[in-house]
Structures are given as C-alpha cells and as structure tokens.
Amino acid sequence: MVLCAPALLPVCPGSAFAGDTPAAKDVFLYFISPLDGQRVRSGFPCRFGLRNMGVAPAGVAAPNAGHHHLLIDVEEALDPVAPVPADRRHLHFGAGQTETRVDLPSGLHTLQLVLADANHMPFNPPVVSQRIRIRVA
C-alpha cells in the first residue's frame, strides 16, 4: 500500500497520554468519498467529513478539535485509553489533512475514520465513523 501526503507520526508512550479529552456533543465523523459499497481503482481519493468539531494538527490542544486517523482493514476495536497505533493499517493525518489518495491491492477492503486529540488519544466517548467496505479493481 502506498499513500500520498499523510503524515505518519510516531506515537510516544508515557504519562502525557493519561486522561480523557471530551468529545463535543452531536459530533459526526464520516467519509465524503469513497462511499460504502463503492468500486474504486487503486489510487482513489479519500475525503474525510466532520461535523460539530474542528480539525487541528497533532500536538495542538484546541478545544473541540482533533486530527484524523484512517484505519484500513482493521477489525479489532481500538483501546480507548491508548494512543492510536501508527502503522500501515492505522494512518495518522497529524498535519490536519482532511483527504488523501490511497493505493490498495485489488479486492475487498474496510475503511474507518477515528478522530483523536492532540496526543493521538481517542476522545471520550470515541469519535469514529461507520466502517465502510469498498472493492478495489
């Protein structure tokens, strides 16, 4: 898998990650594109949508704001008291990006978004999108 433009940021363990950041009421995280069930070609654009909260770069503790993480083919639940992992299946958009281009092999894949606070911690309660399924041609 090759991705263009996301900032893969290191996740540092430690006491800086203790505590919960509250999520705004009525927050809604979703995919603008692709849509659930859509067929796409590899190198497809992926755009993130967010209502009732804002986007801020990692490390910037702005009220009611966080940054996006794209989970690719991740079925297991995230640990709500640990930072979002940083690997090829958990992509961090720590510069505040709201879109990217994704290259995946042919076949069925799942995508899900997670909004995390300045320290890559899930909000309380977690702000996650619906998990969508796409087919890459």
Domain total in the chain: 1
Average pLDDT over residues 11-33: 72
Residue 104, pLDDT score: 98
Residue 17 DSSP SS3? helix
Q: Is residue 78 part of a domain?
A: yes
Q: Is residue 53 part of a domain?
A: yes
Q: Is residue 75 part of a domain?
A: yes
Residue 46, pLDDT score: 98
Average pLDDT over residues 101-127: 97
Structural domain containing residue 106: 2-7+25-136
Residue of 19, 26, 29, 105 lying closest to 69 (CA atoms) = 29
48-78 pLDDT, tens per residue?
A: 999 999 999 999 999 999 999 999 999 998 8
Q: Is residue 69 part of a domain?
A: yes
**Confidence tier at 13 by pLDDT (50, 70, 90):** very low
Q: Is residue 18 part of a domain?
A: no
Q: Is residue 13 part of a domain?
A: no
Which residue's entry shows tokens 């042919």?
106
Contact by Cβ (8 Å): 116, 50:
no
d(CA 25, CA 64): 10
Task: Give me the CATH number covering residue 114.
Answer: 2.60.40.10
- Average pLDDT of the residues of the chain: 88
Residue 80, pLDDT score: 86
Q: What is the pTM (predicted TM-score) of this model?
A: 0.85
